[in-house]
Amino acid sequence: MINVDDMAKIQPSWILASLGHCLVCVDQEGRVNYANAAAIELSGHDSADGLSLAEFLPFKVAGGEYLFADVLDGNGADIADCRVSLPHVSDTQYFITTRRIVDDGGAVVGCSLSVHEDTAILVHYGDGESHLDPLTELMGRQEFERRLENLVNDASASSRTHALLYIDIDQFKLINDTSGHGAGDNLIKCIADILQKELFIGDMLCRLGGDEFGVLLSNMHTFEARSVANRLIKAVRRMPFVWSGISHKASISIGVVLIDEHTQDRESVMSQADVAMYSAKEDGRGRVHVYDINDKKLSRLHDDMDWVHRINKALAADDFCLVTERILPLVDEHNRTTIYNELLVRMRYNGEVLRPGQFMPAAERFGLMPQIDRWVIKYFFNYLQRNPELNSRNVMYSINISGQSLCQESFLEFVYRCLRRGNVNPEIICFEITETVAITNFAVVTRFIHRVHELGGKFALDDFGTGMSSFGYLQELPVDFVKIDGLFVHDMDKNPVHEAMVRSINDISHVLGKRTIAEFVERQAVLDQLQALGVDYAQGYLHGRPTDLVDLSPTDV
């Protein structure tokens, strides 16, 4: 860490020399009396000693050579963002900004020039059309990736370092879902404008897609890139955003990656930036996180994000499958001819069939559960359509729904639409949600249960007993089944406290008119005890492992 005493030792000339962009100072005769390292490199000369500006950097503008007489004579104005070119760099254009240098008496004694590469030039491809994002009019992803690859190659071939900022709008989906796509599009445009105004000429801003942006910073070190990122976050935070009379607080999260000689390729930079951005979100949103290969948290996050790519690939290729686990009736008055199964999802990967514990944590962490839930429902309803005789048999299937799905209005409508189809009998369908999800989303869950009941479907409350307010909420939730958490069931024959919990849950559920299912039943002694207590159903490996459902591909629902 640099303290105040150390800062006092830093010379201004050192700071000027370290700047990533070109800085040149000329005297009143147009002779160069200062040029930093970036300017000397651009010029192609070994030094600027004794050279005029026209000799050192012979900038051209439309109509001829660029002259600074108007600036130096004291009567002209400073020039801002004039696009120029250099004869010896034929494929690049630059922006140049000039500022007059005056002495204490106000007399013009020279001029400073700041030069940036022009990254805002439209690129035309073979079809003759400019590839700009139609919503924001920013550079498109294709050109962004080309520029990024150029920076990676440049860093590999030189000692220069660059930076990538990966930007994501916080809680964008919430604004989109609650206020409509018009609000979301408007927010993207407003933030694009703010970002553009805060960046310097030479910094490339692009909309990568959805609510994500990318910024490329040439000749930039980590601390400088972090400073730019923090400036962008503050600017967006100050931005007022009102839609339909409702004021929203906008914020962005930014992942920063340094591009240097150790950078492997464009794909690795994007992957690292993605991980850093998600880490910024996990740290509380509205933050900056700089990628560090030695950061153990980022390493774990990187592993999870690898699973995200695998899950998305599996969703696209229908590389999931369903298995069923039997739920056995225990009480005589229940119809023992009913075949009651819970549907469990598995994922195929590299010739293996993976259990939920291997891919579900990443799916939950990165919001992929609604897609998996939709896949399960599509898959199973296709199964029922191809086996219509199941609709008339005495069967019932239980389908798990995540809390992420329940919070989506579109998902609830999707389920309701599926149940209303004439070739599917809703009475054989039972949806399961965990107790924690039900309590956290009480109003949404209650409304969903009522809509399912309207069509004849059923509902089960899973993992019951672990919540702090379990019994208080149970009487308010109109579920049909209560599944007693396996934590209490698996050793209840040896643990009197767990036996008392199972007894209490079973008794109160029956008083409320709900049937009970004990989970994790793996030994006969536990099954005997459950029957003695009057628990309605048992589920577990005592009566067999999960078995495959017929392998069919889902159709559109």
pLDDT band at residue 63 under the 50/70/90 scheme:
very low
User: pTM of this prediction?
Assistant: 0.56
* Alpha carbon distance 383, 553 (integer Å): 9
Top mean pLDDT of 104-113, 322-331, 400-409 is at: 322-331
The letter for the amino acid at 80 is A
The letter for the amino acid at 47 is S
pLDDT band at residue 78 under the 50/70/90 scheme:
low
pLDDT in tens, 495-506: 999 999 999 999
Q: Report pLDDT for 183.
A: 85
- By the 8 A CB rule, do 424 and 385 touch? yes
Closest-CA residue to 123 (of 139, 134, 136, 135): 139
Reported as type and span, the H/E element at residue 344 is strand 339-349
SS3 state at 346 = strand
Domains and CATH numbers, the chain: 4-117 (3.30.450.20), 141-293 (3.30.70.270), 318-548 (3.20.20.450)
* Alpha carbon distance 61, 314 (integer Å): 54
Q: Report pLDDT for 2.
A: 44
SS3 state at 308 = helix
